[in-house]
Chain A
Amino acid sequence: MAGPPPAPTPHHAPRAATPRRPRIGVVKFASCDGCQLTLLDLEDELLAIAERVDVVEFAEATSHRSSGPFDVLFVEGSISTAEQAVEIARLRTVTRHLVTIGACATAGGIQAIRNWFDHEEVRQTVYPEPAFVDSLALSRPVADFVAVDAELRGCPISPGQLREFLVALVTGRRPQLPDEAVCLECKRRGVVCVAVARGIACLGPVTRTGCGAICPAYGRGCYGCFGPRESANTASLAEWFGATTAAPDVARLFAGFTAWSGPNRTAIDALGGPPGQREAEGRSGDA
């Protein structure tokens, strides 16, 4: 398998509007389909978008199939089987701009929690016949395998960010995707800080915005589904939580949908691992 083509700088969006309609693909690996569903959830724009691009591969939506080439390929899901690792490498060779969508593709997803557990123990817990199960020991983000040109974060991705990305694509400009903390979104929205006013643990200070600060607006703490913002100081936030909360319960705050991303992973490791690890050790000890 040939390596990926010379990749543009990460997070560098497609620039020039091509004279022909761009060939768009949507594919999935280990995931829930929610991020690709977000495309179909652009109810007001879907038909207009479809007139400006050629959707050549999108199994959930159309019986048109294509194995490439793609001008833009949206990739949902984490890489968690050997077959998927081969397929993502192939897709990279036939794709101009590879865009990962959602927490599974960009950070490994909730299924990456198993990365802390013993692989055999996990397989035996879930499958009556674990011998038939084909999975890699780790569930990992796409960028661990191939160069990624742009990413949309979130669990699921935000319809607003997807719309912005698609408009930028068809008009040939760079999309505006902010990298600031959820806290700023709360301030703009006029949401009272749940951490300060109500003492609720909130990952807002270390999490990239994009969701619209939904959780604080609905009276609960941010659970970090857009992943860490740049230079997120998770250790400091963990220490702050730790003043009032036991270490295992601080670990569980970080052990969510983007647990495997660097800053969250470091915080979880420092606190002794995610919930369920104790159980894992107990079980593999029995085996």
Chain B
Amino acid sequence: MSMRDALAVAALLSLVGAEAQAEGPGLGRAASASEIALFDISIGPDGAGLPPGAGAARQGRLVYEARCIGCHGEKGEGKPNDRLVGGFGTLKDGQAAVKTIGSYWPYATTVFDYVRRAMPFDAPKSLTDDEVYAVTAYLLHINGLIGEDAVVNAQALPRIEMPNRGGFTLYTPGK
């Protein structure tokens, strides 16, 4: 959907919402900036929300080998869980699609966001921000997207061009 369509739909439905609106007792209490900072872990595709810190693949390999290898294989080849590497060129023409960070994920920021919130499976949120930057760099490196010593931080991460960035079409109903 285009931004203009989105605006039109939002305008239309906000009218519907107004009609059905129930008035609440106003019991939400004000959230402080520090509370919000504690809760707000999401990272936008433009890098909004990325914390201070940095890492490169060379350190990230150590994080990966200590925390990730058991589920994702020696170098991200997968088994027992998701494959993280390769699969380039497999999305077209009815091939067995191998959807990995390298072949499928449109934004590098999503790697940081997901690893920091949900990985490793047995101890999510246990990595430091530097470790998350480093292991993100390692996953991008083993996909051939950045060098082993390329520093990944809040400025660099959203600028990394993912091969499948243009591979998504917004759905229109009926298709």
* A and B bind: no
- Please report A residues at the B interface, Cβ cutoff 8 Å: none
- Please report B residues at the A interface, Cβ cutoff 8 Å: none
